[in-house]
Amino acid sequence: MLFKNYPQITYRIGNKDITLVDIFKNISFTNVDNNNAFDDYYIQDGETPEHVSLKFYGTTSYGWLVLLVNGLLDIKKDWFVSASEFNATTETTLGGDAIYIPSLPDVQPGDVVVKVLTQTGGFADTVNINAYRHVADFDPYFRKIRGICGGGTFAAGDSVVIARKQSNGSVVPLTFDNTDLVPALTDIAEVLYVEKYTNSVEYFITGNDVVLNPYMNVAYAGGTSISSLTTYSDAAAVSYTDDNYADTLIYYYSENNGSLPANISKFAVGTGNYNKYIKKQKIRILKSELLSTVVGAIQSALNGDNVGKIFKVEL
């Protein structure tokens, strides 16, 4: 839509001349905060740039100007979409469960989390093939698996294996260090907490909006932060140590079903995603009385001989 208003130039590529849009010629507005020239507008559900153009200028022909004023180059990524489209996209990109574990297996997208029924010596004997999730992502910093699709339910206290399909077609569980003080290999991870991924932790903050280290020690006043690579976890420990994952803020959150110490709150993944979405709703609109003057100046600049030049419009 936007680039159809740009002139075409001929590029020499090899021994061929190819005519393309001169995308290097750029028009930008430098002072859209000037209320004498622009007004605020909140895009309504389902509106397109053409709808907005019709509402303010009486024609759909200036949808490109709406985009240009606001510096929106990719309508699919930058334009405010309908609530239903946003919800559908969110389900695709952020849907599923967040499964928190204390260990650090090498979980990869495409792996499968399966609930363990019986185990011996730290290794699974039998599993419930009806309780599983496909791994969409693993965040080792917050130790949360994003599990999608599948079947069955998962809850705190469950044991799981992470299975991976091999190149020969076989499926084997990952092995990794357990959470003992002296680690030993295991293929079982403990589930500490499960919540909807959109409600999962993006970061922790204080009442003064200070972002907190999820590995800060909340079990002992004045305790130092714990390494993000620590796997040793002992919630029953009665003496201070600087390498017990069970003393961390993220463990506290996981172990207490999403509760947090006083004056600490969570900023959720879905909240950040929604804030980015809703921020797109507010745009600036060029006042209609300036339309012909500005459009004329833009067309003159675009049709000039200055290939690749950047033009700035200031009102």
Q: For the beta carbon of residue 208, count every other beta carbon within 10 angstroms.
A: 6
Written as one letter, the residue type at 263 is: N
Q: With 60 as the cut, is the pLDDT of residue 146 above it?
A: yes
Q: Which of 189-198, 235-244, 303-312 has the highest mean pLDDT?
A: 189-198
Provide the pLDDT for residue 305: 61
Q: β-strands 310-313, 264-268: how paired?
A: unpaired
Report residue 84 as tokens.
């239903």
Provide the pLDDT for residue 28: 78
Average pLDDT over residues 133-159: 97
Average pLDDT over residues 121-130: 96
Average pLDDT over the chain reads: 89
Selection from 80, 100, 105 nearest residue 183 by Cα: 105
| pTM for the predicted model, two decimal places | 0.80
Report residue 10 as tokens.
């001929």
At residue 314 the predicted structure's pLDDT band, cuts being 50, 70 and 90, is low
Selection from 244, 208, 239 nearest residue 227 by Cα: 244
Average pLDDT over residues 194-210: 96
At residue 242 the predicted structure's pLDDT band, cuts being 50, 70 and 90, is confident
Per-residue model confidence as pLDDT tens digits over 51-63: 999 999 999 999 9
